[in-house]
Amino acid sequence: MAGARRRLGTLLFPDFELLDVCGPLEVLGHLKDHFEVGLVAEQAGPVRSIQGVALVAEHDLDGCPPLDVLLVPGGLGTRREVDNVRLLAWLRARSEAAALVMTVCTGSGLLARSGALDGRRATSNKRAFEWATSQGPHVDWVRRARWVDDGKFVTSSGVSAGIDMTLHVVAREIDGALAEEIAWRIEHAWHRDPDADPFVEPRS
């Protein structure tokens, strides 16, 4: 991916988790020479997050241009979208065509339901881990992980973990020093160890 400007599409659906989208895009927004970032939904236009804030999708599923990178967020809306046959078919096809697919939180459960993660290692939000893993019985789920890098597919744990995952992807695909610089710019304490998962144990 280094040296090439790639088109990244972020999927929106009603009741997506806001930081799942805005965290990674905050990181990638510092890399305009490397990424062209867009938002896509079943229908173009405003899509409301579970927090009540709406983001505007430029493309609908049919009008979305080819994507080099796909980002799938989580949120309570994933519980509904796992039964959305049209969306699942789109996710499967776009995952096959993309060079890199990233998920945040229960976005991995949605992607798993499409079959795209079969035979892959992946993780998800620990508070919703049982639900997410039930969507992909043929996925090698990793409970203790801040994120899991399985080559083409990189999945993160819950919400803010998507920022750590995205910085990792920047370091892997472009430059480690640049990832460090972005973390410093956004004043983010980057969790660099994917196996250091402070949220895997239940709260006492």
Q: What percent of the chain lies above the pLDDT cut of 90?
A: 95
Considering the candidates 47, 71, 72, 105, report the single residue annotated as catalytic: 105
- Return the C-alpha torsion angle 174, 179, 180, 183, nearest 10: 170
Q: What is the pLDDT of residues 90-111, one digit of tens each?
A: 999 999 999 999 999 999 999 9
- Model confidence, pTM: 0.96
8, 28 Cβ separation under 8 angstroms:
yes
Q: Is 64 a residue of the active site? A: no
4 pLDDT tier (thresholds 50, 70, 90): confident
In the numeric block, which tokens belong to residue 41? 């939904």
Residue 161 near residue 188, CB atoms below 8 Å = no
> What percent of the chain has a predicted confidence (pLDDT) above 70?
98
C-alpha dihedral sign at 7, 11, 12, 18: negative
Domains, the chain, ordered by start? 6-185 (3.40.50.880)
Res 96: pLDDT: 98
Task: Name the band, by pLDDT with cuts 50, 70 and 90, for residue 204.
Answer: low
For the cut 80, the answer to whether the pLDDT of residue 30 exceeds it is yes
Residue 1 has pLDDT above 50, yes or no: no
| Residue 47 in this model has a pLDDT that exceeds 70 | yes
